[in-house]
């Protein structure tokens, strides 16, 4: 029986890459190193109020740092602007 390799489209390859990237859990210091200096300042200010850096979400306008305090979320954009009421969807 001859088995042919499966050809994936560009979109399927991107979905696979995104899925695999999500499976790699980074620790807090690895997330921190990926922040811009402005984001580090914004996240640092939120940490004073009990927020912790949860993850970084890639966005066409730049990376968005997502911080969490219990069930509350806030974001810090690449320019360091904090949004305490972000319009984001969090997957379980």
Query: Which pLDDT tens digits describe the chain residue by residue (92 residues)?
Result: 555 566 767 776 666 566 555 555 566 677 788 888 999 999 999 999 999 998 888 888 888 999 999 999 999 999 999 999 998 887 76
Whether 88 is covered by a domain: the verdict is no
Whether 4 is covered by a domain: the verdict is no
Whether 54 is covered by a domain: the verdict is yes
Whether 62 is covered by a domain: the verdict is yes
Looking at residue 5, its pLDDT comes to: 60
- Structural domain including 28 reads 10-83
Whether 3 is covered by a domain: the verdict is no
In this structure, what are the phi and psi dihedrals at residue 64, rounded to the nearest 5 degrees?
Answer: -115, 120
Whether 45 is covered by a domain: the verdict is yes
The dihedral of CA 85, 54, 47, 63: what is its sign?
negative
Domain count, the chain: 1
């Amino acid at each position: 029986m001859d088995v042919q390799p499966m050809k994936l489209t560009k979109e399927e390859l991107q979905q696979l890459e995104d899925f695999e990237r999500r499976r790699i859990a980074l620790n807090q210091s690895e997330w921190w190193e990926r922040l811009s200096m402005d984001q580090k300042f914004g996240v640092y200010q939120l940490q004073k109020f009990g927020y912790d850096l949860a993850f970084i979400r890639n966005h066409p306008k730049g990376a968005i740092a997502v911080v969490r305090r219990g069930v509350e979320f806030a974001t810090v954009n690449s320019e360091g602007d904090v949004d305490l009421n972000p319009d984001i969807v969090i997957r379980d």
